[in-house]
Amino acid sequence: MSSRPEILFPLFAGLETLDGVGPKTAKHLAQLDISVPRDLLFLLPHGVVDRRRRDTILGLTLPTTATVEVTVGRHSPSRSRGGAYRIRVADAETEFDLIFFHARAQYLQQILPEGSRRLVSGKLELYDGMANMPHPEHVLPLEEADEIPDFEPVYPLTAGVTQRVMAKAAGSALARAEALPEWIDPGQRATKQWPDWLSAVRQAHRPDDLQAVRPEDPARERLAYDEFFAHQLTLALARNVERKRVGRVTQGDGHLRDKVLKSLPYAPTGAQTRAVAEIAADMAGGDRMSRLLQGDVGAGKTLVAFLALLIAVEAGGQGVMMAPTEILARQHLEGLGPFAEAAGVRLEILTGRDKGAERRSKLADLAEGRIDILVGTHAVFQADVNFADLRLAIVDEQHRFGVRQRLELGRKGQRADILVMTATPIPRSLSLAQYGDMDVSVLDEKPPGRKPVKTTLSSTERLDEIAAHLDRATREGRQAYWVCPLVEESEKSDLTAAEERFKHLRALLGEGRVGLVHGQMPPEQKDAAMAAFQRGETDVLVATTVIEVGVNVPNASIMVIERAEIFGLAQLHQLRGRVGRGTAESTCLLLYQAPLSESGMRRLTLLRETEDGFRIAEADLEMRGAGDLIGTAQSGVPRFRIADLENQTALMAIAQSDARTLLAMDPKLEGERGRAARTLLWLMGQDEAIRLIAVG
């Protein structure tokens, strides 16, 4: 079944085939990401209006929506242009006015002739002690009264599309939907009391009470689960394809790891020991490892990574550690150096800088197995780079390395195990959405000796005081980062540009004591400024957020973040993690521009109270939502139409285990439920996943 099943054809036809949708409306609907009838099925109403009939408006608390049968009385046209045109109507017990502004008298006499019976529905308000209904939403002759449902759905709209057009289009799409085979596990469906797919879609669009728009409504919850399940099936298929590229059994005897552990001045944390054991078990299995190592700032990922690389070397193979930038690659080299010395293995670096004879000799050593562990940038991917026996590839800083790149690393035909490291604690819901195809190890303890960072808040009005304090501290031999939010003054923004702050601090502290790093600089200049700061030649480094990932300067013990209120929580936490790496007491100063909004205050106070990155990430997700948190465009996190990543984590977790179970029993999705699951993948537009089944 490598083409879309016929039963779904009507849902993927042109929008203009729907009732009431012409070329113009179709163009407007595109603003809501609606391009085929199926998209309308997944655009659920976000509200419900109670339009149940009543005999009279007497006794209602106004303002409220009312639907009532009336006899039409006298018309009183407005005396001024655009004024109120009133029509007196009577229900079973009382009278009230229908009011129209900018009215066309002829039209109103046509739809509301005196003496006729009509059903009217709209917002009732009190004005000068009299009930009236301005611009009723519905005015119908009694024989058409059935057109108004008791509970009317309210749809999200876009310019040029009214509720009426949207309801008509959705109804027309609904009429095309047919019963589909069931892809949800029967036990799961029975426990949750979910309806079948067609009933769920119908119920979601035709609410039968005011509670029907809650996410926990069974019909909605089922549809949210369908989205999660399709997504997790796609990830699980990618994982299966990755694992099919046969893994290798890599088992070490521990002799090199023991040397490193003996050389340490402290014992590893329980979390570190557990993570190494999980990695070793994966590597010893026959499938390819695909594991994510998540650690909070300073949780000791480097040691875990190196011990994992040593397993590869103990087994007679090689390991590679890839970083996104040259600065980080060199830093890994420095961080791993002492461990490599203790273990007695050869560690080398390969970046775009390596040229000529030096590069050729490194490549020859690598191909003949004389280099045990290689650290490098994406240069490691180049065609002329060959390993004698690559067993483990570690990829640093996941965000720049999505599912697609992971598959590419596999496509090189290297059967290496893959370990991905990220320093950003990711809330469980997001890690399931983004890395659902991977197993996860979490480092949630800090190694002994990491000092807590003291975090304080201060208003930007005290800038000069802070600069004077910085002057004293740096003269005592401490170093500081000063982070600015934007480069280049722009009229639109009153944010202090890094350039301006750099000049200001240089004037205060003296030439030569202040360095500058920002995104617009050529890479060589950036590297030179970073290196000068690392060597202690400059005391203060003014920077934009380019320093947030991984830079390690143990002597830097002060972090000033200007306009902290406009940064995300996770980003602030990452920046703060740049200090507190040495022996000195460290401080992080969050400068905000007064007055602070309530949510700004809440975010900055939370940072002052905790250094737990997971708690911070969860709070960030609650406050900002998934899209903002990772910048959806580049993150690889899918956008769900119905499901809510933040509040339905448990549902996502069930979908993940269900998808993996189904594929374990039916890897090619050929059984009855497997074929139904293929229909779901087509319905959700996961055509990529269907291709993966073919590959698998």
The average pLDDT across 392-397 equals 81
Helix 326-343 to helix 255-263 angle, to the nearest 10 degrees?
100
The reported pLDDT for the residue numbered 198 is 93
Structure tokens at 240: 């299966």
Q: What is the DSSP letter of 322?
A: E
- pLDDT of the residue at 97: 87
Could you tell me the pLDDT band of residue 497, with boundaries at 50, 70 and 90? low
In the prediction, which pLDDT does 355 show?
Answer: 83
Pairwise CA distance, residues 301 & 328, whole Å: 14
pLDDT of residue 634: 34
Q: Taking the CA atoms of the chain, what radius of gyration do you get in angstroms?
A: 32
Q: What is the pLDDT of residue 163?
A: 79
Band (pLDDT 50/70/90 cuts) for residue 246 is low
Rounded Cα–Cα distance for residues 461 and 481 (Å) = 19
- What pLDDT is attached to residue 308? 94
Q: What is the pLDDT of residue 280?
A: 93
Greater confidence, 20 or 11? 11
d(C-alpha 563, C-alpha 589), whole Å: 11
pLDDT of 492 reads 41
CB-CB contact of 696 with 668 (8 Å): yes
Query: In the predicted model, is pLDDT for residue 145 greater than 80?
Result: no
Helix (H) or strand (E) holding 583: none
- Closest CA relative to residue 324, chosen from 400, 404, 405, 435: 400
List, in sequence order, every beta strand (DSSP E) within 249-405. 290-295, 318-322, 347-350, 373-376, 390-396
Q: 54-63, 198-207, 244-253, 341-350: lowest mean pLDDT where?
A: 244-253
Q: Is 196 helix (H, G, I), strand (E, B) or coil?
A: coil
Digit-coded pLDDT (tens) for 75-90? 988 877 767 888 888 8
Q: How high is the pLDDT of residue 695?
A: 53
With cut-offs at 50, 70 and 90, classify the pLDDT of residue 325.
confident
Distance of alpha carbon 68 from alpha carbon 55, whole angstroms: 6
Q: Which of 151-155, 392-396, 485-489 has the lowest mean pLDDT?
A: 485-489
| pLDDT, average across residues 332-352 | 89
Q: Look at residue 491 and tell me whether its pLDDT is greater than 90.
A: no
3-state DSSP: the chain helix, strand, coil percent, rounded to 5? 45, 20, 35
Confidence of residue 313 (pLDDT cuts 50, 70, 90): very high
Per-residue pLDDT averaged across 246-272, rounded? 85
With a cut of 90, say whether residue 279 has pLDDT above it.
yes
Distance CA(687)–CA(656), nearest Å, equals 19
Asked if 306 and 336 count as a contact pair (C-beta separation under 8 A), the reply is: yes
pLDDT band of 277, cuts 50, 70, 90:
very high
Contact 43, 156 (CB under 8 A): yes
3-state secondary structure of 521: coil
Q: Where are the beta strands (DSSP E) in 252-401?
A: 290-295, 318-322, 347-350, 373-376, 390-396
Among 532-546, 650-664, 678-692, the range of highest mean pLDDT: 650-664
Enter the DSSP assignment of 1.
-
601 beta partners: none
Per-residue pLDDT at 412: 47
CA dist 676 to 336, 682, 689, Å?
50, 10, 14
Q: pLDDT tens digits for 376-393?
A: 887 777 778 888 888 888
Summarised one tens digit per residue, pLDDT across range 637-660 is 567 888 887 678 788 888 988 998
* Most confident by average pLDDT, 189-203, 341-355, 607-621: 189-203
Q: Torsion over CA of 260, 261, 266 and 272, rounded to 10 degrees?
A: 110
Burial (CB count within 10 angstroms: exposed 0-12, middle 13-18, buried 19+), residue 102: exposed
pLDDT higher at 670 or 413: 670
List domains and CATH numbers for the chain. 6-48+157-213 (no CATH), 52-148 (2.40.50.140), 255-443 (3.40.50.300), 453-610 (3.40.50.300)
Query: Is pLDDT at 422 greater than 60 in this prediction?
Result: yes
Q: What is the pLDDT of residue 489?
A: 47
Q: Does 273 or 496 have the greater pLDDT score?
A: 273
Instruction: Give which of 543, 293, 599 is closest to 418, Cα–Cα.
Output: 293
Q: Which of 203-217, 385-399, 407-421 has the lowest mean pLDDT?
A: 407-421
Q: pLDDT (tens digit, 9 = 90+) per residue, 107-117?
A: 888 888 888 88
Judged by average pLDDT, the poorest of 176-190, 341-355, 441-455 is 441-455
Q: pLDDT at position 201, please?
A: 94
Q: Is the model's pLDDT at 555 over the cut of 60? A: yes
More confident call, 532 vs 407: 532
Q: Where are the beta strands (DSSP E) in 77-137?
A: 84-90, 95-101, 117-127, 130-134
Q: Tell me the average pLDDT of the chain.
A: 81
Work out the average pLDDT over 241-260. 79
Tokens found for residue 26: 């179709």
State the Cα–Cα distance between residues 504 and 320, nearest whole angstrom: 43
Task: pLDDT band for 28, please (50, 70, 90 cuts).
Answer: confident
Preceding amide of 595 cis, omega within 30: yes
Residue 488 pLDDT grade (very low, low, confident, very high; cuts 50, 70, 90): very low
Q: Alpha-carbon distance 665 to 667, whole Å?
A: 6
Confidence of residue 548 (pLDDT cuts 50, 70, 90): very low
Provide the Cα torsion 53, 59, 62, 64; round to 10°: -20
pLDDT value at position 622? Answer: 59
Are 673 and 1 spatial neighbours (Cβ–Cβ below 8 Å)?
no
Q: Which residues have CB under 8 Å from 203's CB, separation 6+?
A: 195, 212, 217, 219
Query: Which residues, 6+ apart, have CB-to-CB distance to 371 below 8 Å?
Result: 318, 346, 347, 348, 362, 365
pLDDT over 60 (residue 168): yes
Q: Identify whether the C-beta of residue 134 lies closer than 8 Å to the C-beta of residue 103.
A: no
Q: Which residue has the higher pLDDT, 368 or 104?
A: 368
Q: What is the pTM of this model?
A: 0.62
Greatest CA separation for the chain: 101
Q: Give residue 397's pLDDT.
A: 62
pLDDT band, residue 288 (cuts 50/70/90): confident
